[in-house]
Amino acid sequence: MLAEQRQASEGDTTMHKMNYQEKFRPQFHFTPETNWMNDPNGLVYYDGEYHLFYQYHPFGNTWGTMHWGHAVSKDLVHWNHLPIALYPDHNGTIFSGSAVIDWRDTSGFFNGGVGMVAIFTHADEYPDSGRPRQRQSVAYSTDRGRTWIKYEGNPVLSDEAMTDFRDPKVFWHKASNKWVMILAAGNCVRIYRSSNLKQWEFASEFGANEGSHAGVWECPDLFELPVDGDRNRKKWVMVVSVGNSDEYPEGSRTQYFIGQFDGVRFTNENAPETVLWVDHGRDHYAGVTWSDIPEEDGRRLFIAWMSNLKYANHTPTEVWRSAMTIPRSLSLRLTPEGTRLFQTPITELESLRLKKLEWKDIEVKSNEDVLSNISGDIFEIIAEFELNTALEFGFKVRKSADQETIIGYDAEQQMLFIDRTRSGVSDFCEHFPCKHGAVMIPDQNRIQMHIFVDRSSVEVFGNNGEVTMTDLIFPDESSTGIEVYAKEGHVKLVSFMLFSLKKIHPDA
């Protein structure tokens, strides 16, 4: 590892031409040019650019010596790959973290000007025991994130009692006039405060007996959202990822809490045992939101790593490994069960739409394929069904004689589901072929599906983002069939739109 760190520190930032012809390479999701990627890091908007930093191993296509990769975009759809941003040094490798714009130069890094500050975890070992050591450090940039200077006083926060002590997410809390850091600390999160991003004081702890503890807690986020669009009625959302455990076939997942935050403490408004999942699929992890989105935009923008710690090292790609989800806009809405988090695809994705096929008021019966002769490997579906006698209905995508991924609705169980048991290559993990779903109650006897299909993934938004599911799939290139189906009865397809989508890079 030391040799790799020396190589990295010498600035080996050779850029490789991306080959979008590679098998399973997504066509409208973010992927690294080569090698391994995991958690999104340092999401920040500045001077017309969205920055996406990410966990990156430049020496192989499995998890290894962590750096921060870097890309920028003007629309969250088309990305420009930049050289590696942060390299390992004498304090360790570069684990996950966040970035902010220091508008008031509270840090003193910018001589009264404005700049970008990254707050991240340095990971190494205690020299006397070999026990993992994780400490928080700071770096800053005066050139829009192109080059970085690590603070000479690093690390700025440590705790020898904690082994899992990582993934700082920092934001400016206007009401208390302080920077706030939420940090994963074993089976809970800790909150710290600072005036200058360099000296941090402990504020509170949350979660030791709340939510899911099916794995170690990671990659927290904390932000405020209006309820039902009412900016006079806001609540705070805490997002926490839950790592993989051998006991649970689901692997790594992401949960959230709803409550209040006063600048010091977060208070959960639901019962401690309540578990709310951000996404009910298998491949949505380490999701966090962008900092410094302009107020006039008004959105809380979110992206996650589209994989699962249970099998991420073994998915069947070679030159590159892993992708991000499509970016999403988050909102809070009041439901009969209480205030809940909704997700919708960002509107910028509509720029990818090409040919549109549209039908209305179609009766779908058992054993009839009303979408015959329609196919595609990258597309978007927006559909609304009116329930009737069918016990189950939905779509089969990336279909061939022996492969299909089913996105369906079980009317008896009132459950939206994905079935990827016959989706393609799946022998790399016994838990990969599976069927899973979430309860979704019809609205006036109707349910809505918004589906994105890429060459190796499906993302499903049910009932305008009330339920989301994200799954990897690895079908053959020839598996391109699309079918609408019903079982044991009939269902009305009230409306159906299918858009073929542009490839981000037309040479694919």
Average pLDDT over residues 291-317: 97
User: Is it the case that residue 14 has pLDDT exceeding 90?
Assistant: no
Helix (H) or strand (E) holding 3: helix 2-9
Which of 9-18, 70-79, 455-464, 466-475 has the weakest average pLDDT? 9-18
Helix (H) or strand (E) holding 5: helix 2-9
* Residue 382 Cα to chain centre, angstroms: 22
Residue 145's nearest CA partner among 292, 30, 7, 326 is 292
| pLDDT at residue 33, as a whole number | 95
Beta bridge partners of 122: 94, 135
Distance in angstroms (rounded) separating the CA atoms of residues 82 and 490: 52
**pLDDT above 90: percentage of residues in the chain:** 92
Residue 77 CB contacts under 8 Å (≥ 6 apart), including other chains? 28, 348, 349, 351, 352, 504
User: Is it the case that residue 3 has pLDDT exceeding 80?
Assistant: no
Distance in angstroms (rounded) separating the CA atoms of residues 274 and 51: 34
Six token digits for residue 334: 């009041």
Distance in angstroms (rounded) separating the CA atoms of residues 66 and 89: 11
Model confidence over 374-386: pLDDT tens digits?
A: 999 999 999 999 9
Six token digits for residue 2: 């030391």
Phi-psi map region of 197: left, alpha, beta (phi>0 left; psi -120 to 50 alpha): left
- Judge contact between 289 and 301, C-beta under 8 A: yes
- Judge contact between 194 and 172, C-beta under 8 A: no
Per-residue pLDDT band at 6 (split at 50, 70, 90):
very low
User: Is it the case that residue 506 has pLDDT exceeding 80?
Assistant: no
39, 167, 283, 377: which is the annotated catalytic residue?
Answer: 39
Average pLDDT over residues 164-168: 98
**β pairing state of 35-46 and 320-321:** parallel
Is-catalytic flag, 39?
Answer: yes
Model confidence over 26-76: pLDDT tens digits?
A: 999 999 999 999 999 999 999 999 999 999 999 999 999 999 999 999 999
3-state DSSP of 78-136: CEEEEEEEECCECCEEEEEEEEEEECCCCCCCCCCCCEEEEEEEEEEECCCCCCEEEEE
| pLDDT at residue 371, as a whole number | 77
Residue 158 CB contacts under 8 Å (≥ 6 apart), including other chains? 133, 135, 136, 165
Residue 461's nearest CA partner among 349, 357, 334 is 349
Residue 138's nearest CA partner among 184, 198, 88 is 198
**β pairing state of 457-462 and 467-472:** antiparallel
Per-residue pLDDT band at 16 (split at 50, 70, 90):
low
User: Is it the case that residue 8 has pLDDT exceeding 80?
Assistant: no
Helix (H) or strand (E) holding 7: helix 2-9
Model confidence over 312-359: pLDDT tens digits?
A: 999 999 999 999 999 999 999 999 999 999 999 999 999 999 999 999
Model confidence over 222-260: pLDDT tens digits?
A: 999 999 999 899 999 999 999 999 999 999 999 999 999
Average pLDDT over residues 281-301: 97
Residue 237's nearest CA partner among 340, 344, 335, 96 is 340
Model confidence over 142-152: pLDDT tens digits?
A: 999 999 999 99
Average pLDDT over residues 171-182: 98
| pLDDT at residue 17, as a whole number | 61
Angle at the Cα of 452 (from 502 to 308), degrees rounded to 5? 115
Residues in the chain: 508
Backbone angles phi, psi at 312, to 5 degrees: -60, -35
End-to-end CA distance of the chain: 35
User: Is it the case that residue 5 has pLDDT exceeding 60?
Assistant: no
User: Is it the case that residue 10 has pLDDT exceeding 80?
Assistant: no
| pLDDT at residue 488, as a whole number | 93
- Judge contact between 449 and 383, C-beta under 8 A: yes
| pLDDT at residue 369, as a whole number | 77
Model confidence over 97-132: pLDDT tens digits?
A: 999 999 999 999 999 999 999 999 999 999 989 899
Average pLDDT, the chain: 94
| pLDDT at residue 498, as a whole number | 97
DSSP string for 413-444: TTEEEEEEEESS--TT-TTSS-EEEEE---BT
| pLDDT at residue 4, as a whole number | 34
User: Is it the case that residue 1 has pLDDT exceeding 50?
Assistant: no
Which of 118-132, 283-297, 391-405, 492-506 has the weakest average pLDDT? 492-506
DSSP string for 12-66: --------TTSTT--SSS---SSEEEEEEEEEEEETTEEEEEEEEETT-SSS-S-
Whole-model pTM: value is 0.95
| pLDDT at residue 373, as a whole number | 81
Residue 260's nearest CA partner among 184, 304, 206, 297 is 206
| pLDDT at residue 504, as a whole number | 81
| pLDDT at residue 372, as a whole number | 74
User: Is it the case that residue 11 has pLDDT exceeding 90?
Assistant: no
**β pairing state of 338-345 and 230-242:** unpaired
Residue 253: half-sphere exposure toward Cβ, Cα within 13 Å: 22
